[in-house]
């Protein structure tokens, strides 16, 4: 019993340590206001590097295709890096998907995380782009224009729901 309690305590401490991220858990209105560069990109490739010592997290790097800028110069970013830490701080970015990035500073590397990337979904980026343009121009509130799916899709936990089967249940 004592060993089981000790293991439980250690796992709680490990999770608590991992979940203290150095960034916002999701994009918010302050991120939108402060970002020098807001740009649409498509993730072309991603490679996971060697896992960290705790074997829970890995770093990924990849190539991105610039699509367009909503503010600043997103064209300078051609590479991306992000953590895949699955417990809480890691980002889920899928190759082939369109995203909107919020960055300050210069490229070519975009340091992505759940606090500076929005997923535009598999249907394209036009709907999210139009919503963001309305927010940037002051015609809409961030919380009214951006869906929870867009905000939380890049987070590892909670994971996004699985797509519905094409041929029924």
**pTM for this predicted structure:** 0.74
Range of the domain at 93: 23-48+56-152
- Tell me, yes or no, whether 44 lies in a domain: yes
Give strand pairing partners of 41: 66, 99
Per-residue tokens: 69: 């800028």
Per-residue tokens: 18: 């991992």
Q: The domain spanning residue 121 has which CATH number?
A: 2.40.50.120
- Tell me, yes or no, whether 42 lies in a domain: yes
- Tell me, yes or no, whether 111 lies in a domain: yes
The residues near 77 (Cβ < 8 Å, ≥ 6 apart) are: 37, 39, 41, 64, 66, 101, 103, 107, 108, 109, 110
| Three-state secondary structure call for residue 100 | strand
pLDDT digits (tens, 9 = 90+) for 72-130: 999 999 999 988 765 556 788 889 899 999 999 998 999 998 889 998 866 678 988 99
- Tell me, yes or no, whether 1 lies in a domain: no
- Tell me, yes or no, whether 166 lies in a domain: no
How far apart (Å, rounded) are the C-alpha atoms in residues 169 and 164? 8
Q: How many independent structural domains does the chain possess?
A: 1
């Amino acid at each position: 019993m004592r060993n089981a309690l000790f293991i439980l305590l250690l796992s709680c401490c490990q999770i608590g340590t991992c979940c203290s991220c150095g960034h916002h858990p999701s994009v918010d209105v302050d991120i939108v206001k402060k970002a020098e560069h807001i740009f649409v990109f498509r993730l072309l490739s991603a490679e996971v590097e060697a896992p960290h010592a705790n074997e829970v997290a890995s770093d990924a790097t990849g190539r991105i295709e610039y699509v367009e800028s909503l503010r600043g110069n997103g064209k300078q970013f051609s590479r991306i890096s992000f953590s895949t830490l699955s417990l809480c701080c890691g980002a889920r970015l899928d190759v082939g998907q369109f995203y909107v990035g919020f960055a300050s500073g210069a490229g070519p590397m975009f340091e992505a995380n759940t606090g500076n990337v929005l997923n535009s979904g598999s249907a394209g980026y036009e709907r999210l782009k139009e919503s963001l343009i309305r927010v940037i121009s002051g015609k809409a509130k961030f919380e009214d224009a951006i869906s929870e799916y867009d905000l939380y899709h890049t987070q590892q936990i909670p994971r996004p729901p699985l797509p519905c089967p094409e041929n029924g249940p």
